[in-house]
Amino acid sequence: VPEFDIPGHARGLSPLKPAGLKFCSPRADETQLYNDPDGFTLRILTDLLAEMSALFEDDVFNIGSDETETRGFCTSASTFPLARHMVDTVGRQYNKTPEGWEELMFTEQAATRDTIVDAWTSHDASTVTAQGRRVVESAAAHFYFTEAAPAGA
């Protein structure tokens, strides 16, 4: 299942700025998308994810949404509705099950009842399933092999 991480971690989409894609600040290293009042970002994302949805035949479509912040132009009033719109679009327009990191459910409150939640840092799988949701256990301490192995291991 591919992950198209929005609205945060989206610097790879910066070539779409000339088409109207907006970021939270004008800095060249900005990584988070801005849900602008004119709807440019929303239209571009909807078109882009429609194309990606057709390319990947999986029943699940992961929109990421981890480490999304309110900063710069991005307030909770603009950022969180963008995430919810994309979750709804994945489910209704693309007929796929939305998936995203735990922030999608706990911070942005954008997860629907059908959304699969990736529990990775502040919440564990049992917290998510206790609310009747499907979950992927993705705790960094269990699955990220970025630490050096202890001597002799």
Helix (H) or strand (E) segment spanning residue 53: helix 40-55
Q: How many CB atoms lie within 10 A of CB 81?
A: 14
Distance, in Å, from the CA atom of 81 to the CA atom of 135, rounded to the nearest integer, reads 22
Please give the C-alpha separations between residue 82 and each of 58, 90, 128, in angstroms, as whole numbers.
23, 12, 22
Among all residues, which ones are annotated catalytic? 67
At 150, list the tokens.
């202890």
* DSSP designation for 74: B
